[in-house]
Copies of this chain bind each other. A is one copy, B any other.
Amino acid sequence: MGTGQRTGRRPGNPDTRTQILAAAQTLFAEKGFRTTTLRSIADAAGVNVALISHYFGGKQQLFDAIQEFPSDVLRSVTDAIAGDSDGMGERITRAYLGVWEDEDLRPRLLALVRSSASEDAGLDRMREVITGALVGDGHRQLSYAMAQLFGIAMLRYVTCVPAVADVPFEQLVADIAPAVQLHINRAGA
């Protein structure tokens, strides 16, 4: 997913909507849906409660938007899987890390990974998303490829290890795509 492909965003400051989603994601994971109030989400996001109504309607719609998010992100990867297997390693690497590279989406991915890792329900949800996306032949090798990309995202964007965080994006894609391609080639062998 490149920065030009994001569709369906409402007019206004794009960061505000992302900040609300990231805050809501964290609070729902920490406190559950029932006990999380719109006010606490607004406070955490640093916005007025009315702005949440403006962007999402209500708490249920906000929750629905969060649930849909991982599927949207994975769709950009599954799109990259379609087509010739020769260039697939680079396409998947660029698509997956491209989502993380997007400064509007990154806060939501960070909230998702950090809250999922600490919550049993979050881990269940993560497993469902990963398992659901990786169906069909060669899903073990595709899982290995996704593990490589997920590990890079953890080191580059979550823990911010300098050796990985400081590499320019195009260099990173060139460095990682061959390992991803190797797994894909073994799936076809």
Residues of A within 8 A of B (CB): 113-115, 117-118, 123, 126-127, 130-131, 134, 139-141, 143-144, 146-152, 154-155, 158-164, 167, 175-176, 178-179, 182-183, 186
Whether A123 pairs with B183 at a CB distance below 8 angstroms is no
16 more contacts with CB within 8 A, not counting A147-B155, A154-B154, A178-B182, are A117-B118, A126-B159, A130-B159, A130-B161, A131-B161, A131-B162, A134-B163, A139-B163, A140-B163, A140-B175, A143-B163, A147-B152, A149-B151, A151-B154, A175-B186, A179-B183
**How distant is the Cα of A131 from the Cα of B141 in the complex, in angstroms?**
29
A115 and B119 alpha carbons, distance in the complex (Å):
10
Residues of B within 8 A of A131 (CB): 161-163
Tell me how many chains of this kind the complex includes.
Answer: 2
Q: State which of B113, B130, B140, B167 has its C-beta within 8 Å of the C-beta of A117.
A: B113
Residue numbers in B under 8 Å from A161 (CB-CB): 127, 130-131, 134, 143
Could you jot down 21 A-B contacts, CB within 8 Å? A114-B118, A115-B118, A117-B118, A118-B118, A123-B158, A123-B159, A130-B161, A140-B163, A143-B155, A143-B163, A147-B152, A147-B154, A148-B179, A150-B151, A150-B155, A151-B154, A154-B154, A178-B182, A178-B186, A179-B179, A182-B182
- Closest residue of chain B to A164, judged by CB? B143
Known: A117-B118, A139-B163, A140-B163. A155 touches B130 (CB 8 A): yes
Contacts of A149 in B (CB 8 A): 151
A101 to chain B, nearest CB (A): 16
Please, which residues of chain B bring their CB within 8 A of the CB of A159? 123, 126-127, 130
CA distance A131 to B159 in the complex (A): 10
Contact A167 B140 (CB under 8 A): yes
